[in-house]
Amino acid sequence: MAKKTSGGYRFRVSDAVEVPLRGTMLRLKRVAGQPSVDALEPGSVVRLESPGGELRDVAVKDVSVTGGRATQAKLDRYGQLDVIISPEDAAAGGRPVTIGWFVVGG
């Protein structure tokens, strides 16, 4: 089976929660594109966009999908993904990532 390519994609941050000893969990809901789960794997860098247009690049520390392991089939079916980023990345520049921000790629 061939791997999907991510191309352009856009997720909306639908929740941002501090997870003790891990970082900040961003619950993402796909709004555009067909991203590859590999594009958001731990160690990858993603771009955050604030509602006002501020851009910030952050590293993904961990990833999961509701109901277990992050797979391409689950991402395609549900369009949701949770990623963990560092607390420092989540609050960089004095403006914390909150509901309404976007993760953009491609």
Residue-wise pLDDT for 65-89, tens only, equals 666 788 888 888 889 999 999 999 9
Q: 23: closest CA among 83, 67, 98?
A: 83
The pLDDT assigned to 2 comes to 39
pTM given for the model: 0.87
Domain 9-105 has CATH 2.40.30.10: yes
Give the residue extent of every domain in the chain. 9-105
- Residue segments in the chain with a per-residue pLDDT below the cut of 70: 1-7, 65-67
Structure tokens at 24: 């900040």
The pLDDT value given to residue 61? 95
Residue 5: the pLDDT is 46
Question: Please, is 11 exposed, middle or buried when counting C-beta atoms within 10 Å of its C-beta (0-12, 13-18, 19+)?
Answer: buried
**Which residue from 40, 57, 50 is spatially nearest to 16, judged by alpha carbons?**
50
Residue 1 has a pLDDT of: 37
pLDDT at 67: 67
∠ at Cα 48 (91, 58), nearest 5°? Answer: 65
Q: pLDDT at position 65, please?
A: 64
